[in-house]
Amino acid sequence: MKKSDFYYDLPEELIAQHPIEPRDSSRLMHLDKKTGEVEHLHFYDIVDLLHEGDCLILNNTRVLPARLYGVKEETGAVVEFLLLNQHDAHTWEVMAGPGKKAREGAKFTFGEGILKAEIKEVLENGNRIAEFSYEGNFYNVLDKIGEMPLPHYIKEKLENKERYQTVYSKELGSAAAPTAGLHFTPELLQKIKDKGVKIGFVTLHVGIGTFRPVKTENIEEHKMHSEHYMIPAETADIINETKKNGGRVIAVGTTCCRTLESVCQAKGKVCEYDDWTSIFIYPGYEFKCIDGLITNFHLPESTLIMLVSAFCGYEHTMNAYKIAVEEKYRFFSFGDAMAIL
């Protein structure tokens, strides 16, 4: 298939710039996986779409306040760092901008001196290896001076950092939020449990590559970024028990979907596992684990809309997006949701 097959026209005013309050009051499109029929609901109605004996799988990753603004020690020029991958206690791979100011040996100061960095290496892909110096705990320093790495299409400043975290976030390490989970509240999760739906957690640390565009017209030539994931034994047991009893396994977000499909691809079943994945799911893929998917509305021509098309069918998916635009749903990270069941 071609990248252009996944294009749709989106008016800029439909890109959500801020989260809705309360979290579960966002709109929810119910898309029937078999028929393609669409129903317009609110996210708190998700309880009615779930059945006793189903299980809901959530990604409990927590977003790092990974965007840092500082100055070059030598000149005072302003610089921006985005933390990508931690190599050891003091060393990270970062994106630095403007890049010409971040040559090897360059030194920077952040937060009026509570964090300092030196560029140790410039990588082939343009990223930098930076060594940081600080007192105390690095993550405490980040909490004080770091900003949330919101996607480029969100122009408004986020006043409350926690609104770019799920209410169940726990394992620190993501460069972006698993946004399908932003709609849940503790009260809604309790209602879901009370209905007899089991809830399990996996961890996939979302990389900044999630925003990387597909550049090849033939989508099969696209190279996916790699992300680390973990599935605990408890969650594997919930999934396997659900399958055994005829219930549905419903992934909350493309990150959960990729995690569960990755372990099935690697091990042939869902089990306790810790690995890296670069799985690319597009139409033609045969799903091995999930029976349902809750997800937000994704960018045109992105790997995420390709994944949704693989799960629900290309025609159903693109028609649902056409309807979402016509009905003025809110799109992307802080936008509305879709339940494909």
Q: Report pLDDT digits (tens) over 119-130.
A: 999 998 899 999
Rounded CA separation 130/90 (Å): 8
Q: How confident is the model at residue 240 (pLDDT cuts 50, 70, 90)?
A: very high
How far is the CA of 109 from the CAs of 77, 99, 120, 310, in angstroms?
Answer: 10, 16, 15, 46
For residues 150-171, average pLDDT: 93
User: Pairing state of beta strands 107-110 and 227-231?
Assistant: unpaired
Taking the C-alpha atoms of 198, 32, 259 and 223 in order, what is their torsion angle to the nearest 10 degrees? -170
Which tokens is 126 given?
A: 């343009």
User: Pairing state of beta strands 61-63 and 171-174?
Assistant: parallel
For residues 28-44, average pLDDT: 98
Rounded CA separation 50/118 (Å): 51
What is the phi/psi pair of residue 42, to 5°?
-115, 160
Which tokens is 318 given?
A: 């693109």
Helix segments in the chain, DSSP class H: 46-49, 138-145, 186-194, 233-244, 254-267, 303-312, 314-326
In the predicted structure, residue 211 carries a pLDDT above the cut 70: no
Q: What is the pLDDT of residue 175?
A: 86
Rounded CA separation 118/123 (Å): 14
In the predicted structure, residue 209 carries a pLDDT above the cut 90: no
In the predicted structure, residue 235 carries a pLDDT above the cut 80: yes
Longest dimension (CA), the chain: 65
- Least confident range of 40-44, 137-141, 230-234: 137-141
Rounded CA separation 55/53 (Å): 7
Closest among 213, 231, 234 to 222, alpha carbons compared: 213
Global model pTM greater than 0.85: yes
Q: What percent of the chain has pLDDT over 90?
A: 89
Rounded CA separation 299/134 (Å): 38
Partners of 59 in the β-ladder: 202
Rounded CA separation 36/340 (Å): 9
For residues 110-138, average pLDDT: 95
Q: What percent of the chain has pLDDT over 70?
A: 99
Rounded CA separation 324/118 (Å): 47
Which tokens is 331 given?
A: 């799109």
Q: What is the pLDDT of residue 56?
A: 98
